[in-house]
């Protein structure tokens, strides 16, 4: 079984917001949506339900999922023990800057040496090689930063370059693991838009546990 991100447009076309376009009857409308130019980096506190259900789903074949969604929690702790926490999400288009790089450029462009940072990312797919290099460089320059990355899927995990990049992340002190069903539920509760005045329960998809175990095995094989 293998990742199929690069075949996204041909295998299962999807709109820029992650909705399935296979049922569109107008060929011109379909062509127009597929050829939309890349969006800018989008930030916010909660992402729409349909974005989460499509982009975060831990499928084996990720056709049509041409974005990275990154939900983050940043805890900054002073020497006195006081902790300040911030959270939000980023989304990107792969033709532009990736979400991982945008996090360091837009959300945390600088690190206060007087603070200790514990950062947790919940990401729809694991970093590409270039983003992994940026993470490694940031961690080497910010010794007061601890980063945990939880991913729904492994991006192109069969490629030697990607496998080497994942190992470099571990060597740099970055913790990377696959999202469990409970992690998807956490993202649902804390980063997904809810109906006003009520919180709808998370409904796991049928193969969520099976796919978690599949990717966990692949990650363990890469890191062994």
Q: What is the 3-state secondary structure (H, E, C) of 91-156?
A: ECCCCCCCHHHHHHHHHCCCCCCCCEEEEEEEEEECCCHHHHHHHHHHHHHCCCEEEEEEEEECCC
Pull the structure tokens for residue 194.
Answer: 């809810």
Catalytic residue among 3, 91, 93, 100: 100
Is 100 annotated in the active site? yes
Can you tell me which residue has the tokens 């076309």?
A: 13
Pull the structure tokens for residue 221.
Answer: 């094989």
CA separation for the pair 80, 134 (Å, rounded):
30
Catalytic residue ranges: 100
């Amino acid at each position: 079984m293998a990742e199929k991100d690069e075949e996204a447009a041909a295998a299962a076309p999807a709109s820029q917001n992650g909705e399935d376009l296979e049922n569109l009857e107008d060929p011109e409308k379909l062509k127009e949506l597929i050829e939309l130019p890349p969006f800018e980096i989008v930030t916010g506190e909660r992402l729409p339900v349909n974005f989460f259900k499509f982009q975060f789903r831990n499928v084996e074949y990720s056709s049509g999922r041409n974005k990275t969604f990154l939900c983050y929690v940043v805890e900054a702790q002073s020497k006195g023990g006081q902790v300040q926490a911030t959270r939000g999400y980023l989304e990107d288009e792969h033709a532009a800057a990736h979400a991982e790089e945008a996090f360091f450029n837009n959300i945390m462009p600088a690190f206060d040496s007087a603070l200790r940072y514990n950062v947790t990312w919940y990401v729809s797919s694991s970093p590409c090689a270039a983003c992994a290099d940026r993470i490694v460089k940031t961690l080497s320059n910010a010794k007061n930063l601890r980063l945990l990355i939880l991913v729904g899927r492994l991006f192109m995990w069969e490629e030697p370059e990607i496998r080497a990049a994942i190992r470099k992340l571990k060597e740099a002190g970055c913790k990377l693991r696959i999202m469990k069903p409970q992690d998807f539920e956490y993202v649902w509760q804390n980063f997904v838009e809810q109906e006003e005045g009520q919180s709808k329960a998370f409904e796991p998809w049928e193969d969520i546990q099976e796919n978690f175990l599949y990717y966990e095995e692949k990650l363990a094989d890469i890191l062994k």
